[in-house]
Amino acid sequence: MVVLQIQQSNGFVSSVSRARTNRGRRRASNTVCVQTQKIMEKISVGGEAGGAGGAYSYNALKRLDNIWSNICTQPTGPQETQQIVSRVSGFSQDYGMGNNLVGTFDIVVCGGTLGIFLATALCAKGLRVAVVERNAIKGRDQEWNISRKEMKELIEVGVLTEDEIEEVISAKFNPNRCGFENLGDIWVEDILNLGVSPAKLVETVKRRFVSLGGVILEDCSLSSIVIYDDLAVMQLSKGDTLSSRLVIDAMGNFSPILKQIKRGRKPDGMCLVVGSCAHGFKENSSSDVIYSSSSVTKVADSNVQLFWEAFPAGSGPLDRTTYMFTYTEPQSTSPSLEDLLEEYWKLMPKYQGVSLDELEILRVVYGIFPTYRNSSYDSIYGS
Ligand SMILES: Cc1cc2nc3c(=O)[nH]c(=O)nc-3n(C[C@H](O)[C@H](O)[C@H](O)COP(=O)(O)OP(=O)(O)OC[C@H]3O[C@@H](n4cnc5c(N)ncnc54)[C@H](O)[C@@H]3O)c2cc1C
């Protein structure tokens, strides 16, 4: 019996410590975060989704900053974590599965944002597949950018048709710049040059999955997995039970399985990303795949190197998405997402050659991506 971990290249909550309290005090006294709150509270928040970068509200920003703050002050080394996956010798039938058995599947995919794509490809191969998702399986309004070559792979594996791909593409742009401040630019074509609507894309794939016989369990979290000699038996938050021959973890960076595998260890690094989608850009035909600033910028109590990404949005010809991101070690002096956003409102207009007054901010986006020096996965049961 196998549990597979699916992670994006680009995965924790710990106890509150004294250091965290100090950090909170530092922030309150040293950093004045006013513009972000003012801007965000003016925007009506719709189309939020459960996946990474799917929340747009000021309250959700505060919640993510709290998680990030806890990571920063977490001690290094293994921590006590909830045991989601356990191993029991013997056959499942010897233990019984209770009265709430939803079904027995070839594969259960846990996490339905990108998980639904994988599940549909497996269903198209004739396997009996279920998807378990904590929220609704739903894509966010904020576009994903992607290359056509990557989209075509979804046709090859039976997830989408050529026509469906055209229907979900909301923006196309060329050329695309990789810029290095003071060192020059490299222009490329057809790299990350499509904006796709995650809302439409996920809905289309969800329909295909169901039409192929896939089973969806939404609004219920995976609580535990017991691995027997013949089957994995999953317990869900609402009391349902599922069993399968293979479990695929597509629960993203905050997967409880990943947390168990990593023994609750603090990440070695964090990629912090903030940005916005705004209306009012007159120059809006090309994109920046990446633009790196060569100088060091002081944000709150930290020196950081900033990177940018910008591309036209599908909502209108003057609408453009701009991301600013940085890599940092999780420590008490690291900037919060709100600190970064305060800096963003100052630097983004300069980088994009506009004034903030000319822009209507349509949406504010943010996310955190943990990184580990040792990215290999240990055995989940310990050595
Ligand atoms: C601001 C921002 C912009 C981005 N832009 C792009 C982009 O343009 N293109 C791109 O390719 N990527 C982009 N990304 C990367 C983004 O992480 C991915 O696009 C995508 O969201 C990753 O999907 P995932 O399914 O791997 O993980 P997640 O999006 O984290 O989804 C994990 C899913 O698992 C579910 N889940 C978690 N725990 C449980 C549980 N216990 N039981 C059941 N379900 C659970 C969650 O509800 C969620 O739906 C961006 C990210 C951010 C933050």
Could you list the pLDDT tens digit for every one of the 383 residues in the chain? 445 555 443 322 222 232 333 344 344 334 566 899 999 999 988 778 888 888 899 999 999 999 999 999 999 988 989 999 999 999 998 887 777 889 999 999 999 999 999 999 999 999 999 999 999 999 999 999 999 999 999 999 999 999 999 999 999 999 999 999 999 999 999 999 999 999 999 999 999 999 999 999 999 999 999 999 999 999 999 899 999 999 999 999 999 999 999 999 999 999 999 999 999 999 999 999 999 988 899 999 999 999 999 999 999 999 999 999 999 999 999 999 999 999 999 999 999 999 999 999 999 999 999 999 887 776 665 44
How distant is the alpha carbon of residue 128 from its chain centre? 27
248 in any annotated domain: yes
Domain count, the chain: 1
Model-level pTM?
A: 0.90
- For residues 310 and 320, is the Cβ–Cβ distance under 8 A? yes
Q: How far is the CA of 51 from the centre of ligand 1 (A)?
A: 4
319 in any annotated domain: no
For a ligand 1 pocket test, name from 170, 251, 277 the mutation site with the most ligand atoms within 8 angstroms of its C-beta: 251
CA dist 84 and 260 (Å) reads: 7
Q: Which protein residues are within 6 Å of ligand 1, measured from CB?
A: 8, 10, 50-53, 110-115, 132-135, 144-146, 221-222, 250-253, 256, 273, 365, 367
134 in any annotated domain: yes
For a ligand 1 pocket test, name from 56, 120, 134 the mutation site with the most ligand atoms within 8 angstroms of its C-beta: 134
Q: CATH number, domain at 230?
A: 3.50.50.60
One-letter amino acid for residue 20 of the chain: R
Q: How far is the CA of 120 from the centre of ligand 1 (A)?
A: 17
Q: How far is the CA of 52 from the centre of ligand 1 (A)?
A: 4
Q: How far is the CA of 82 from the centre of ligand 1 (A)?
A: 22
For a ligand 1 pocket test, name from 114, 274, 321 the mutation site with the most ligand atoms within 8 angstroms of its C-beta: 114
53 in any annotated domain: no
Residue 236 alpha carbon, nearest atom of ligand 1: 42
Q: How far is the CA of 50 from the centre of ligand 1 (A)?
A: 7
Q: How far is the CA of 99 from the centre of ligand 1 (A)?
A: 33
> Which residues have C-beta within 8 Å of that of residue 122, sequence separation ≥ 6?
106, 107, 109, 129
Residue 275 alpha carbon, nearest atom of ligand 1: 1
- For residues 300 and 344, is the Cβ–Cβ distance under 8 A? no
Residue 132 alpha carbon, nearest atom of ligand 1: 43
198 in any annotated domain: yes
To 5 degrees, how large is the angle CA 157–CA 163–CA 167?
110
With b for 16 or more beta-carbon neighbours within 10 A and e for fewer, the 142-169 pattern comes to bbbbbeeeebeebeeeebbeeebbeebb
Residue located via tokens 């691995």: 227
Question: Closest residue (by CA) to atom 6 of ligand 1?
Answer: 144
For a ligand 1 pocket test, name from 133, 141, 170, 235 the mutation site with the most ligand atoms within 8 angstroms of its C-beta: 133
142 in any annotated domain: yes
> Which residues have C-beta within 8 Å of that of residue 280, sequence separation ≥ 6?
318, 354, 358, 359, 360
240 in any annotated domain: yes
Q: For residue 109, with 0-12 CB atoms within 10 Å meaning exposed, 13-18 middle and 19 or more buried, which class applies?
A: buried
Residue 274 alpha carbon, nearest atom of ligand 1: 1
Q: How far is the CA of 298 from the centre of ligand 1 (A)?
A: 29
139 in any annotated domain: yes
Q: How far is the CA of 152 from the centre of ligand 1 (A)?
A: 21
Q: Which domain holds residue 102?
A: 85-171+192-261
